[in-house]
Amino acid sequence: MKIAAAAYPLDWFDRFEDFEAKLSTWVAEAAGRGADLLVFPEYGSMELASLGGRAIAADLEAALHEVARHGPAVAAAHLRLAARHGVHILGASAPVFEGERPVNRATLYGPQGVVGHQDKLIMTRFERETWFVAPGREPRVFDTPLGRIGVVICYDSEFPLLARAMVEQGAEILLAPSCTDSLAGFTRVRVGAMARALENQCVVVQAPTVGPCDFCPAVDENVGRAAIYGPPDLGFPESGILAETDLNIAGWAMAELDPRAVARVRREGHVLNHLHWPEQHARLAQAFPGP
């Protein structure tokens, strides 16, 4: 199969149809190049705040509500494209209000409908102290014809046990949509994503927002490169990088992946991190026995 990770710029829209046209172009390009799984970034949906006008888009709270109200139309657009092209799409994450405060939700769409969604589990300081975005409840894994897929949204990718919980549910591919406003922030997510690929002997797909956004202060600066990572071992590149875009350049990073590659490296790799993970607990128990 072929995986596509978007380095995605945020644009101004006067009409929802303009957003749908942009999305259609991006999906058609990746599908036309053979992609089976397309990954869009964290908070890429915040460009929809522009539909409320400059004042709404510039207001942190109003922008959340403006984007959230377009949720049903965004879902319908993704479902049409997934069915038309026969692909799976992780849509750009968006605020979703199911209580007083929104969660940050990424939805996975397939040719037959919605596969499921993952809410971000651990909030950054900006999300918890300024934007008041609520955390999700649990890590999930989705069965698809492409394999079992988990989603670690941006900051979540920096916490090993979240990814491990998905891997222990059978995840072979982890999707890491991200939105970072500095090279340091991007590097933290990149290092986290590569580490998760190493320790779990799986594929991790990072899809970031890129470039400036002058109308929505929550996402005004965006730094990153799209990439697809694997363990630097049997059947994967020695760098662990299957594909990546140039820094801050919009476009797709795309890589072919043998669906059997993860199982093979977990079984026959020069190291067996995935298999040996539980030994950490035994060693720690020996070093620090309880009372």
pLDDT digits (tens, 9 = 90+) for 47-103: 999 999 999 999 999 999 999 999 999 999 999 999 999 999 999 999 999 999 999
Is residue 139 classed as helix, strand or coil in its secondary structure? Answer: coil
Q: What does the mean pLDDT of the chain come to?
A: 97
pLDDT digits (tens, 9 = 90+) for 232-261: 999 999 999 999 999 999 999 999 999 899
Greatest C-alpha distance within the chain: 65
Percent of the chain with pLDDT over 90: 96
Output the DSSP codes for 45-97: GGGGGGGG-HHHHHSHHHHHHHHHHTHHHHHHHHHHHHHHHT-EEEPPPEEEE
Residues 13, 133, 70, 206: what is their CA dihedral angle, to the nearest 10 degrees?
70
pLDDT at 290 over 80: no
Nearest to 76 by CA among 109, 43, 41, 45: 109
Residue 277, Cβ neighbours under 10 Å: how many? 16
pLDDT band at 146 (very low <50, low <70, confident <90, very high): very high
pLDDT digits (tens, 9 = 90+) for 163-199: 999 999 999 999 999 999 999 999 999 999 999 999 9
Tell me the mean pLDDT in the region 147-164: 98
pTM above 0.85, yes or no: yes
Q: What is the pLDDT of residue 229?
A: 98
Output the DSSP codes for 16-32: HHHHHHHHHHHHHHHHH
Q: What is the pLDDT of residue 288?
A: 87
What structural domains and CATH numbers belong to the chain? Answer: 2-287 (3.60.110.10)
pLDDT at 291 over 80: no
Q: What is the pLDDT of residue 289?
A: 84
The alpha-helical segments, DSSP class H, found in 125-182 are 125, 160-168
Residue with tokens 């405060």: 101
Strand partners, 6: 252
